[in-house]
Structure 1
């Protein structure tokens, strides 16, 4: 394999091709949107450029239609499968990443208008409630489907995270001031 570094997107492409079999970039985009895309977001344009890079590295092969749109269909190579398996077996020591715009807004809220925390909490309650409904529907529809059930554990983790976020935002909406740290001198004034 070339000495180029593989990114998480590289492994999304390799893993999706490993599960689905030969696919066009459009097929990859659709498959990711219906599966891991709920939990791992990235620019979908990468699903068009990354397969070409992985092909150049020898991790994928491609065949092109001779007529029509001339779409390229990618397949994982044995070397690509070995690389994917090595990555799956390697320890994951990275810290959990939560990239949530609402969390950023909450962090910088003191610079905003009064009432922003309550408004933000209400928006997040609605968003997390909606996402929980989507995940629970997926669980009902695909929970027993052969070949899909083993990957449902990822959906379970997503549901747990959504429920935790919903609990947080619901409590914050009920009493935004309870979450503020005490200001120096407040304890002495109260007691």
Structure 2
């Protein structure tokens, strides 16, 4: 068991199947796009290759359609559920990571046109306001659903981060 290497994508696959039940890779892509995809981006092609790797490790089991498109539907095994529980129970010592291209552009801006900062800030304000609107709609739509309520805590964090970013970019816009 110690020889297997699980990535964050492995845990996204295990967790998504654990939450939603048996899933095809296409089901995973859709489910991730409507959930963790809002705050954890990665190439969706991994959602098509990772289940097969996890199946070979005994963490998922697969059922393949005999006819038609021969879709593969994956289920989490007891060993997969335990690996997920172990990961969930382990400490996270990594520093918070934010990969924001706008922040990168702001850092290197002195090499470009100073007028770009105001334009960048206006665009970021618009984007953060749009994302806040999407998140608030999600809260209204799913806030009363007890099945979803526990997972809504990540939406709350997303809203807090979007509001903080919006305040920051508004202050930058005022400066430039």
| TM-score interval for Structure 1 and Structure 2 normalised by the shorter chain | over 0.9
Instruction: Give the equivalent residue in structure 2 for 1:170.
Output: 170
Q: Where does the alignment leave 5 or more consecutive residues of structure 2 unmatched?
A: none
Instruction: Give the equivalent residue in structure 2 for 1:24.
Output: 24
Instruction: Give the equivalent residue in structure 2 for 1:96.
Output: 96
What is the rounded CA distance, in whole Å, between the counterparts of 1:91 and 1:145 in structure 2?
29
Equivalent pair of 1:2/1:57 in contact (CA under 8 Å)? no
Q: Which residues of 2 match residues 1-191 of structure 1 at below 5 A?
A: 1=1, 3-176=3-176
What is the rounded CA distance, in whole Å, between the counterparts of 2:124 and 2:132 in structure 1?
12
What is the rounded CA distance, in whole Å, between the counterparts of 2:68 and 2:146 in structure 1?
34
What is the rounded CA distance, in whole Å, between the counterparts of 1:83 and 1:162 in structure 2?
32
Higher alpha-carbon Rg: 1
- Deviation larger for 114-123 or 2-11: 2-11
Per-residue deviation at 1:146? 2.6
Per-residue deviation at 1:2? 6.5
Per-residue deviation at 1:4? 2.4
Could you tell me the TM-score, scaled by structure 1's length?
Answer: 0.90
Per-residue deviation at 1:114? 2.4
Equivalent pair of 1:39/1:158 in contact (CA under 8 Å)? yes
Could you tell me the TM-score, scaled by structure 2's length?
Answer: 0.98
What is the rounded CA distance, in whole Å, between the counterparts of 1:148 and 1:169 in structure 2?
31
Per-residue deviation at 1:5? 1.2
What is the rounded CA distance, in whole Å, between the counterparts of 1:128 and 1:38 in structure 2?
13
Show structure 1 runs of 4+ deviating over 4 A: none
What is the rounded CA distance, in whole Å, between the counterparts of 2:150 and 2:5 in structure 1?
29
1:148 alignment partner, SS class? helix
Q: Where does the alignment leave 5 or more consecutive residues of structure 1 unmatched?
A: 177-191
Q: How many pairs does the alignment contain?
A: 176
